[in-house]
């Protein structure tokens, strides 16, 4: 069934603007169309958010937390509709949408309701003075998000933004408008005050109009480092607060004392989950020389098995071509291809989709394009190391610094190495295990700021410090 994805402004759907098609990544077929927001439509959405702001910001935090809890409950009621929308847009396995993407959407609204409602306030007392802070929302926040985990990443920002008293205009990715459209229906269905949550659809140009709009007070963005840099420039004149979660070229370090079975399975997850289209995915694996060969062989075998047991397509023909071009570049630069390297043939309608083979490469110099640039596909390069210091240096030799994994049974080494890695997140003997209260984000090209727990609430509000002189009682 073909769908038309409208914008959502001031509590109502708005099916205006040019139309563009949405493709099913599994078959390449057009499955729907999306309305594209131009300057005037973006302006209407920002105006709706501004009008809703004073009343929303004035609500006690417990009442806003009540609304985000109701959103979470309603997400669970519309669970299967959200799964269907997310799977249709991304081609991801239904089981993954059921187990990860949609439950995390509900959890994002619930977690920030709890954290905000229980957050302690502080006052500072010196002889003769009393200082305390009040936190105010930023105002209207632009929420610009990518296509890889559309619902999870959007709600990760909406939960804290709304509970902190902001109103929002969301710009989902042009590839994945579905789950934002269902969320808009959910918001209307529970009677969320009109204008508190607005959605505009479109390409990067719409995102740019939104970020630059003078009625937008702050921008929270998840996406590529290049787009982050473009947004930074476009909001520089107004010095708008920004929170950026950007790309990665994440390293995994496998020490020879590790449980090799667990490390291989951990690497399979961290390299190939979601077709490698997760910012946290590992693209550079460094393995202690003693276990390099058995590890590489086993990882390559598991990668080949994935072709029959669990492949997810790339999001678009364009992205598939980009991933394939990195496979070609690897071969040209002299890589040994241990698994994959091309396009799988299914002999059915999936041959029209955007699949690439899970790929394991080795033998490339550290400075090669494939070892430097984020590919964002089901691929990793694997290289040996001899010492702990060398492993740390290799992991840190990157312009990015989002996440890393360390596989070892040596407790001291685990902490020593984890603390030496230049990244916002380090997992030891696991990957993608998250506590929503912890800070999340990256260093270097991987981002600006941290979200998660109180760090999100800090970004989505600004403190005013009030200091009062206490008069002495002379009597
Ligand atoms: P992208 O940067 O191409 O697009 C992200 C969003 O920005 C989309 O909605 C897009 O329409 C919009 N956009 C594009 N140009 C814009 C502009 N000039 N102004 C405003 N908005 C603009 O990223 P993508 O291809 O959708 O997503 C993949 C990237 O996202 C990868 O680099 C990945 O690492 C990164 N990512 C990071 C995280 C994280 O938490 N660090 C999470 C997921 C994805």
Ligand 1 atom closest to residue 146's alpha carbon, by position in its atom list: 26
Q: Does 208 sit in the ligand 1 pocket, CB within 6 Å?
A: yes
- Angle in degrees, 0-180, between the axes of helices 79-90 and 61-77, rounded to the nearest 10: 70
Other residues' Cβ atoms within 10 Å of the Cβ of residue 290: 13
Say how far apart CA 377 and CA 354 lie, in whole Å: 11
Residues in the chain: 475
Which residue has the CA at smallest separation from atom 14 of ligand 1?
204
Q: Does 275 sit in the ligand 1 pocket, CB within 6 Å?
A: no
Encode pLDDT of 237-274 as tens digits: 999 999 999 999 999 999 999 999 999 999 999 999 99
pLDDT of residue 2: 74
Encode pLDDT of 78-103 as tens digits: 999 999 999 999 999 999 999 999 99
Encode pLDDT of 441-462 as tens digits: 999 999 999 999 999 999 999 9
Ligand 1 atom closest to residue 446's alpha carbon, by position in its atom list: 41
pLDDT of residue 308: 82
pLDDT of residue 1: 52
Say how far apart CA 276 and CA 377 lie, in whole Å: 4
For residue 223, what are the CA distances in angstroms to 248, 376, 410? 10, 11, 35
In sequence order, what are the residues at sequence separation of 6 or more whose Cβ sits closer than 8 angstroms to the Cβ of residue 224? 146, 246, 247, 374
Share of the chain above pLDDT 70, in %: 100
* Mean confidence (pLDDT) of the chain: 97
pLDDT of residue 218: 98
Picking from 401, 404, 397, 324, the residue whose alpha carbon sits closest to that of residue 365 is: 397
Q: State yes or no: pLDDT of 342 exceeds 80.
A: yes
For residue 297, what are the CA distances in angstroms to 134, 252, 304, 337? 58, 17, 11, 11
350 Cα: distance to centroid of ligand 1 (angstroms)? 26
Q: State yes or no: pLDDT of 109 exceeds 60.
A: yes
β-sheet bridge partners, residue 381:
284, 361
49 Cα: distance to centroid of ligand 1 (angstroms)? 23
For residue 273, what are the CA distances in angstroms to 243, 301, 333, 468? 25, 16, 26, 54
220 Cα: distance to centroid of ligand 1 (angstroms)? 11
3-state SS string over 157-175? HHHHHHHCCCEEEEECCCC
Q: State yes or no: pLDDT of 48 exceeds 60.
A: yes
Q: How confident is the model at residue 471 (pLDDT cuts 50, 70, 90)?
A: confident
Phi/psi at 159 (5° precision):
-55, -60
Picking from 390, 417, 393, the residue whose alpha carbon sits closest to that of residue 405 is: 417
Encode pLDDT of 303-320 as tens digits: 999 988 779 999 999 999
Query: Is 35 one of the annotated active-site residues of the chain?
Result: no
Q: State yes or no: pLDDT of 465 exceeds 90.
A: yes
Which residue has the CA at smallest separation from atom 26 of ligand 1?
146
List 35, 36, 86, 279, catalytic entry: 279
Ligand 1 atom closest to residue 173's alpha carbon, by position in its atom list: 9
Q: Does 447 sit in the ligand 1 pocket, CB within 6 Å?
A: yes
Mean pLDDT, residues 119-129: 93
Q: 40 by DSSP, 3-state: which?
A: helix
Strands 282-288 and 3-5: unpaired
Picking from 6, 24, 13, 7, the residue whose alpha carbon sits closest to that of residue 313 is: 24
Q: Which domains does the chain have, with CATH numbers?
A: 3-246+446-465 (3.40.605.10), 250-428 (3.40.309.10)
Query: Is 281 one of the annotated active-site residues of the chain?
Result: no
Higher pLDDT, 2 or 276: 276
For residue 240, what are the CA distances in angstroms to 58, 101, 138, 294? 22, 30, 10, 51
Q: State yes or no: pLDDT of 126 exceeds 90.
A: yes
Encode pLDDT of 169-222 as tens digits: 999 999 999 999 999 999 999 999 999 999 999 999 999 999 999 999 999 999
List 36, 174, 212, 245, catalytic entry: 245
Q: Does 243 sit in the ligand 1 pocket, CB within 6 Å?
A: no
CB 432 within 8 Å of CB 273: yes
Say how far apart CA 84 and CA 216 lie, in whole Å: 32
Number of H helices, E strands in the chain: 16, 23
Which residue has the CA at smallest separation from atom 30 of ligand 1?
223
CB 400 within 8 Å of CB 225: yes
pLDDT of residue 472: 81
């Amino acid at each position: 069934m073909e769908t038309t994805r409208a914008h959502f402004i001031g509590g109502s759907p708005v099916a205006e603007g040019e139309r563009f098609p949405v493709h099913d990544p599994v078959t390449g077929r057009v499955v729907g169309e999306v309305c594209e927001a131009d300057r005037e439509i973006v302006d209407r959405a920002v105006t709706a958010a501004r009008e809703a702001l004073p009343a929303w910001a004035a609500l006690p935090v417990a009442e806003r937390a009540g609304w985000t809890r109701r959103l979470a409950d309603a997400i669970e009621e519309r669970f299967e509709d959200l799964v269907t929308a997310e799977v249709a847009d991304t081609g991801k396995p239904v089981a993954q949408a059921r187990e990860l993407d949609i439950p995390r959407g509900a959890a994002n609204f619930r977690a920030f309701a709890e954290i905000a409602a229980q957050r302690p306030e502080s006052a500072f007392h010196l002889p003769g003075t009393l200082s305390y802070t009040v936190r105010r929302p930023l105002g209207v926040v632009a929420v610009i998000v990518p296509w890889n985990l559309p619902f999870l990443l959007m709600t990760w920002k909406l939960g804290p933004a709304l509970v902190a008293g902001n109103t929002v205009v969301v710009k989902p990715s042009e590839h994945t408008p579905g789950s934002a459209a269902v969320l808009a229906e959910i918001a209307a269905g529970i009677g969320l005050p009109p204008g508190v949550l607005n959605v505009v659809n479109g390409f990067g140009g719409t995102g740019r109009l939104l970020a630059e709009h003078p009625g937008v007070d702050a921008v929270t963005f998840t996406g590529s480092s290049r787009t982050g840099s473009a947004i930074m420039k476009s909001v520089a004149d107004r010095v708008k607060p920004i929170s950026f979660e950007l790309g990665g070229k994440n390293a995994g370090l496998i020490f020879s004392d590790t449980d090799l079975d667990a490390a291989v399975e951990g690497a399979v997850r961290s390299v190939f989950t979601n077709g490698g289209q997760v910012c946290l995915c590992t693209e550079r694996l460094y393995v202690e020389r003693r276990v390099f060969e058995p590890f590489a062989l086993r990882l390559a075998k598991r990668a080949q098995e994935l072709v029959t047991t669990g492949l997810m397509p790339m999001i678009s023909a364009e992205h598939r071509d980009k991933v394939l071009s990195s496979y070609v570049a690897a071969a040209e630069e002299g890589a040994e291809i241990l698994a994959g390297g091309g396009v799988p043939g299914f002999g059915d309608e999936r041959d029209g989709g955007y699949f690439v083979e899970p790929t394991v490469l080795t033998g490339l110099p550290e400075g090669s394009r494939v070892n430097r640039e984020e590919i964002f596909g089901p691929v990793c390069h694997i290289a040996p190391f001899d010492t702990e210091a060398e492993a740390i240096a290799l992991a840190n030799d990157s312009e990015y610094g989002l996440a890393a994994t360390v596989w070892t049974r040596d407790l001291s080494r685990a902490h020593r190495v984890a603390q030496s890695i230049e990244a916002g997140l380090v997992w030891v003997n696991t990957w993608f295990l998250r506590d929503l209260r912890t800070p999340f984000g990256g260093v270097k090209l991987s981002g600006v700021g941290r979200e998660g727990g109180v760090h999100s609430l800090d970004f989505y509000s600004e403190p005013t410090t009030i200091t009062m002189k206490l008069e002495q009682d002379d009597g």
